[in-house]
Homo-oligomer: A and B are copies of this chain.
Amino acid sequence: MIEKQGNVMFFASRPSVLFGAAVGGKAEGDGPCAKEFDFCYDNDDINCKTWEQAEAALQKEAMQRVLQKANLPPQDVDVLFSGDLLDQCVASSVAAKELKIPMAGLYGACSTFASGLCMAGIFAESQAAKTALVCASSHFCSAEKQFRFPLEYGSQRPPTTQRTATAAGAVLVGHGKSGCCIEAAMIGTIQDLGITDAANMGAAMAPAAADTIARFLKLTKTQAGDYDCILTGDLGSVGSQLLCQILFHNDLDISAVHEDCGNLLFDIEKQDVHAGASGCGCSAALVSTMFRRKIEKGELQKVLFVGTGALMSPLSVRQGESIPGIAHAVLLSRK
């Protein structure tokens, strides 16, 4: 049964994050987190004809690698929670149709992986599923084409932009032996402070991250220092600074324990990625591998993962509307 403190859901049985895998593209393989990935391609087309197919291929491979590690055939997975940034989450549909796993499609932009972990925790805790697969992906080329300009156009990107990760991450959640578990989760509320700049996702998401973190700490009567890491994904350098500023104005200083997946995936200076990384695949890849492993090994005991999403529609941005942000929190801890 799920116990609640306000809107925070606690999972008494502490469902395990049993296995994880991530695959990436060329820039990810050239970056400081390359060794965390199961595999990085040396091209961005992932040997496919279109960027959309390439993204679907990344998702499919991440899921297949998790299932191989678990030695579990796809038909034994009870439910798949997946999503991506593309219109109608098409990369997820294409990847899921080949694996033939019951699929609950999610939409939360870059918060999708956190949203999926929330759902997997609830399904495992309530025995709605014995095993739940969570997967999210993004692709630099499919995302730029859809949200801003096709790369072939050669447009100059302003300093506030983040480079969408070409990556997919997947985990298998269930009950079994693992050093990493989902202890609690909280579904976030949309925050919108009126950002209309499609090239500044960090600013659109920071208020939602701040709201979710402040609320989670208040409801659980904990402080930033009670966590080894408060991990946002993916605010990048601009959004991370804004998040710390907003919280600081509310008498919360998280700077000592704050990390952001968007600041970790690339070498921001050397790889010329402006304000860092973004995209569903960024936090999905790093949480599925690096952070899961650090918790398993005991290097980190408690990680408050806050997946942040800019629910940006290119159409509504062109219509002059602002970009709503959302952030879901998942407390990952050592079991």
Which residues of chain A (84-132) have a CB below 8 Å from chain B?
A: 86-90, 93-94, 96-97, 100-109, 115, 118-119, 122-123, 125-128
Q: Are B190 and A86 in contact (CB under 8 A)?
A: no
What bracket does the count of chain A residues touching chain B fall in?
35 or more
Task: State whether the Cβ of A225 lies closer than 8 Å to any Cβ in chain B.
Answer: no
User: Residue on B with the closest CB to A3?
Assistant: B127
Task: State whether the Cβ of A321 lies closer than 8 Å to any Cβ in chain B.
Answer: yes
Shortest distance between the CB of A294 and any CB in chain B (Å): 27
Shortest distance between the CB of A174 and any CB in chain B (Å): 14
Taking the full assembly, how many copies of this chain does it contain? 2
User: Residue on B with the closest CB to A111?
Assistant: B105
Given A88-B87, A122-B123, CB of A189 within 8 Å of CB of B102: yes
Q: Are B126 and A90 in contact (CB under 8 A)?
A: no
User: Residue on B with the closest CB to A108?
Assistant: B105
Task: State whether the Cβ of A316 lies closer than 8 Å to any Cβ in chain B.
Answer: yes
Which of B94, B118, B123, B311 contacts A90 (CB under 8 A)? Answer: B311
Task: State whether the Cβ of A73 lies closer than 8 Å to any Cβ in chain B.
Answer: no
Q: Are B102 and A187 in contact (CB under 8 A)?
A: yes
Question: Which residues of B have CB within 8 Å of A122?
Answer: 122-123, 126, 128
Nearest 8 A-B pairs (CB), nearest first?
A126-B126, A90-B313, A97-B190, A105-B107, A107-B107, A93-B311, A102-B187, A88-B313
